[in-house]
Amino acid sequence: MDKLFTPVKVGDTTLHNRIVMAPMTRSRATVGDTADALTAKYYQQRASAGLIITEGSQISVQGQGYLFTPGIYNDEQVKGWELSTKAVHDAGGKIYVQLWHVGRISHPSLQKDGQLPVSSVPVKAQNATCYARNENGEPGPVPVPTPRALSIAEIQDVVQDYVRAAKNAIRAGFDGVEIHAANGYLLEQFINGGLNVRTDQYGGINPENRLRFVLEVTDAISQSIGAEKTGIRLAPFGRLFDMHAFEGEEETWLLLADKLSKRSLAYVHLSDQKTLGEQAIPDGFIDTFRAAYSGTLIVAGGFDKSRAESYLQQGKTDLIGFGRPYIANPDLAERLANDWPLNEVNRATMYGGDETGYTDYPFWSDTPGNTE
């Protein structure tokens, strides 16, 4: 029997299968950076996943790096997200929101009073662009500037921004939150020893210091909404956005695994960046991480049904995250269950725009002649 279609408990929520829709930015929040009825339709179409994790949702103005991404820091945004949580719940699904702070992958034009974006250290991400308005006011990719380092007091302010966002998530009706600590954004800018050479208690050679910020965020959120509603996404050995190899890299991730084990979180979610064009998590490391981490695990990146089933059967992970297949297949769970063919993703409509390439991908049953 396929393990993919067996129930699993995640935190305080029981999921009807082990299929997770991975978080994916779609940049369609064109009014007030607020999720709307179209967002709700998109997620409702995908509610047969065991768990939906939304696109990254910025926790503050400072945390935004791309135009048209939905925030979760004000009341309008909470109201906007309520449409999605209700739509998914009405369809029998479960939904977590991904809490996002981009750190240095931003631009003064997106920041309050045109300030510089922030990071662990004042070091620019090479060859990186965010998505902002150019000098002519037109949206497009813009090179990121050299950021400024957060002061210790400001780090505490960011922790509070995470807490506000997590409380807002519960108000909006989400089943829980996922802390985005992956893919080269703010929290990984502190974890990564190749970048974070701060000399205070938030950086440097000692991994305890580089992990302090992410653990403070994790603890503050867990205390405010419950550890059983708090998940976290990590990208061990990730190289997106100019993250570099560093000495003690494996030890850092395993120390984090150990520390997270003690926190009884809903889950840890590993993001393998291979299909995003970066190196894969090294061979065997997922097993090493699994041995070091005692809680529920999700792994995402490059899965089809047979690889997913093989990972589950071998006990490498508890759930599987599917990214791009979920963009093009609203009924991915049914397609996998029945071995129906998948629609292809159109890359041109991944980011921005309207319902085209968003809510208009056909369900299998939409095609004449396809009947169950």
In angstroms, give the least distance from the CB of 128 to ligand FMN. Answer: 15
174 binds ligand FMN (CB under 6 A): no
- How many chain residues interact with ligand FMN (CB under 6 A)? 23
Is residue 202 annotated as part of the catalytic site, yes or no?
Answer: no
Written as one letter, the residue type at 231 is: G
Task: Give the rounded distance of the alpha carbon of 359 from its chain centre.
Answer: 20
Question: Among residues 107, 210, 233, 335, which is the contact residue for ligand FMN, using CB under 6 A?
Answer: 233
Residue by residue, DSSP assigns 222-240 as: HHHH-GGGEEEEE-TT--T
Site for ligand FMN in 277-306 (CB under 6 A): 300-303
* Helix runs in 226-322, H state only: 249-261, 285-292, 305-313
**Catalytic residue (one of 185, 267, 311, 358):** 185
183 binds ligand FMN (CB under 6 A): yes
Question: Among residues 28, 180, 229, 239, which is the contact residue for ligand FMN, using CB under 6 A?
Answer: 180
In angstroms, give the least distance from the CB of 1 to ligand FMN. Answer: 24
Which residue shows structure tokens 């956005």? 241
56 binds ligand FMN (CB under 6 A): yes
Site for ligand FMN in 339-358 (CB under 6 A): 350
**What CA–CA distance (Å, rounded) separates 146 from 88?**
40
Piece in contact with ligand FMN (CB under 6 A), picked from 9-17, 28-36, 116-124, 268-276:
268-276
Q: Quick one: 198 or 324, whose CB is closer to ligand FMN? A: 324
Q: Which residues contact 10 (CB under 8 A, 6 or more apart)?
A: 51, 94, 176, 231, 266, 267, 296, 319
In the complex, residue closest to ligand FMN by CB: 323
Helix (H, G, I), strand (E, B), or coil: what is residue 94?
coil
**What CA–CA distance (Å, rounded) separates 29 from 32?**
7
**What CA–CA distance (Å, rounded) separates 119 from 330?**
36
Helix (H, G, I), strand (E, B), or coil: what is residue 179?
strand
322 binds ligand FMN (CB under 6 A): yes
Residues that bind ligand FMN (CB under 6 A): 22-25, 55-56, 98, 180, 182-183, 233, 271, 275-276, 300-303, 322-325, 350
Active site positions, annotated:
185
